[in-house]
Structure 1
Amino acid sequence: MRSSAISASPVDSLLSGTPLRLIVGLILLTNGFFPALWILFTSLKLEPELTQQPITWLPSDPTIQNYVQAFSDQPLGLFLFNSFAVALLSTALTLLVSVLAAYALARLNLRYRGLILSLIIAVSTFPLVTLLVPLFEIMRALNLLNSWTALVLPYTVLSLPICTLMLVSFFEGIPRDLENAAMIDGCTRIGALFKVVVPLAAPGVFTAGILAFVNAWDEFLLALSFNSSPNLRTLPVGIQLYQGEFTFPWPVISAALVVGIVPVAILIVIFQERVVSGLTSGGIKG
């Protein structure tokens, strides 16, 4: 009993009480869900109700007029399509490259493996704003501005470090004997990778894919800088068009935000178990 008490961490001791755990849980829940709920409630209100005093938390007369206006004032459907296409393409490319890179780092006897991992970690810490001008010059030199490619390639590069590091920890936890047996049965090394290793590391692959998709879905700075064509605007860029020079139609903007949140929320709900498994397993193995 004494040894277990000594081994318990201060955090575990602090949160050992049920009431305190409940309070901490409520604080985290409020911090995570309150902004989303406030946006949802705002999207169901009309402008007069939003500005009245005292503030009403719940809409007194819920309406979907703001959603109708969000689609009529701007081509919101086009923004959604562009964001989905760019995010999906960049996620697929990110997973392909990161799987190959992570497998090489986990399985091959690379001479400078430690240095490569350190460089990957260092690159992942670069602020996006510092990369804006170099990336813009590269896209302009390649004549890729005003195209999906101008976003797909940078989004892939930006998501590669974290996805590669995550997958390295998963691949290292898979016994080599399994892929060796597959190669003895006639598989090539690439065949063993995609038929044996990747399925076994499915939670990590799904988690990396979700991270890459969300990063591309939410990104604003590059999408605003690289694509000036109205037909290529993504959702984050399109939402800022709802505000006027002197007007901020918050209910309509909130409706557009809710429409943008729904696809990601559905994605998280569908793959919830795999994402949670990937995050916890990656943390344990790392």
Structure 2
Amino acid sequence: MKKRELIKKILFWIAVAFMAFWMIFPFYWMVNSALKSEAQLQMTPATFIPRDPYTGEVSFSSQNFRAVFQNDKFIIGIWNSVIVAGLTTLISLVVGSFAAFALGKLHFQGKTPAMYVILAMTMFPQISVLSGLYALMNWLNIPAIPFMIMSYMMFTLPFTVWVQTSFFKSLPVSILQSAYVDGATPFQTFYMILLPLTAPALVTTGLLAFIAAWNEYLFALTFTSVSPAARTVTVAIALFTGAIARQEPFGEIMAAGVVVTIPLIILVLIFQKRIMAGLTAGAVKG
């Protein structure tokens, strides 16, 4: 019996190690490629650590990062992404909090159908609504950045409402009743008492909405096709031309990918406990 348990533990940790390697290796290879010069990237076979092509010694290069930060289109793309992702997250949290409070704590007709409608909004693939949204943007003559923010709400708002609704449902009804007894209105109860208690859900939904908007590519590429100044960082990286003519800017693309990924990793590591608390809210009753 002990031998069987030992074998299970060994197999379990082998699976964990394989999954960790599977998830971490692409990011490691991106960093490895970003720290190589053009000559190092052309070495065959490829090296797992940047090495000098002549001496074989370990040699790191920062030329790709310098080229990235000297690229004006990349810098503009970062600022556009900060604006689009930041406003998308803020609006999703504000609107989603009100909707989640109503769906989680208030009683009204049509509550269940409203939940199903919100859920149905997540079932449509982006490509199915892309052409219609693009035609609508041109017909209404809306600038690309505001329209991207409104479009991203299609996939950030439903998730925000669902997660926060579960969290509001998990809060004791006695809190709401005590506030009413003290003379508080439903709105005062919401923003003065219940909302501060939903910090884990706010952090979870806010961070995941920000990541979704920050990484979005399909909508951004389409909506900014006639407005290059509004391109977000994902589009800027995809259209990266490099610092040298007729060069395949593989190293610079990898460096740009590192630059835009590290802030997201830092945010997730900082708020990981609140993220887990928000995602598991309402999972256990009692």
Q: TM-score band, normalised by the shorter chain?
A: 0.7 to 0.9
Question: In 2, are the aligned partners of 1:79 and 1:234 still within 8 Å (CA)?
Answer: yes
Of the structure 1 ranges 240-249 and 126-135, higher mean CA displacement relative to structure 2 is found in: 240-249
Match of 2:197 in 1: 200
TM-score by length of 2: 0.88
After alignment, is 43-52 or 109-118 more displaced?
Answer: 109-118
What corresponds to 2:142 in structure 1?
144
Question: Separation in 1 of the partners of 2:6 and 2:284?
Answer: 21
What residue in structure 2 maps to residue 242 of structure 1? 240
What displacement does 1:247 show? 4.3
Hey, what does 2:118 align to over in structure 1?
120
Matches within 5 A, 1:38-57: 38-57=29-48
Residue deviations 1:239-258 (CA, integer Å, cap 9, x gap): 01214796421111000011
Alpha-carbon distance in 2 for matches of 1:82, 1:282: 36
Count of residues in correspondence between the two structures: 272
| Pair 1:36-2:27 in alignment | yes
Q: Residues 221, 198 of structure 1: CA spacing in aligned structure 2 closer, same or farther, 3 A cutoff?
A: same
User: Is structure 2 residue 209 aligned with structure 1 residue 218?
Assistant: no
Contact 1:136 1:226 in 2 (8 A): yes
Percent of aligned pairs sharing the same letter:
33
How many Å separate the matches in 2 of 1:78 and 1:98?
29
TM-score (norm 1): 0.88
**1:16, distance to aligned residue in structure 2 (A):** 8.4
Q: Which moved more, 1:130-139 or 1:210-219?
A: 130-139
1:96 Cα offset (Å): 0.8
Following superposition, the deviation at residue 213 of structure 1 comes to 0.4
CA contact (8 A) 2:156 2:209 kept: yes
Measured at CA, do residues 72 and 15 of structure 1 come closer, stay the same or move farther in structure 2, by a change above 3 Å?
farther
Q: 1:180 to 1:140 in 2, by over 3 A?
A: farther
C-alpha contact 2:121 2:154 (8 A) present in aligned 1: no
Partner of 1:55, secondary structure, is: coil
**2:17 aligned to 26, 29, 33, which one?**
26
Cα displacement string for residues 137-193 of structure 1 (whole angstroms, at most 9, x for unaligned residues): 3322332133x2111111123211111111111110101221232233343211211
Give the deviation of 1:265 after TM superposition.
1.4
1:43 to partner: Cα distance: 0.2
Q: Separation in 2 of the partners of 1:229 and 1:140?
A: 12
1:1-286 correspondence to structure 2 within 5 Å: 17-60=8-51, 61-146=59-144, 148-227=145-224, 228-243=226-241, 247-284=247-284
| Aligned CA-pair RMSD | 2.2
Secondary structure of the residue aligned to 1:53 is coil
Gapped regions of structure 1 (runs ≥ 5): 1-12
| Partner-residue secondary structure (3-state), 2:107 | coil
Structure 2 gaps of 5+ residues are: 52-58
Contact 1:87/1:152 (<8 A) preserved: yes
Q: In 1, distance between residues paired with 2:174 and 2:232?
A: 45
Rate the CA distance shift 1:92–1:73 in 2: closer, same or farther, 3 A: closer
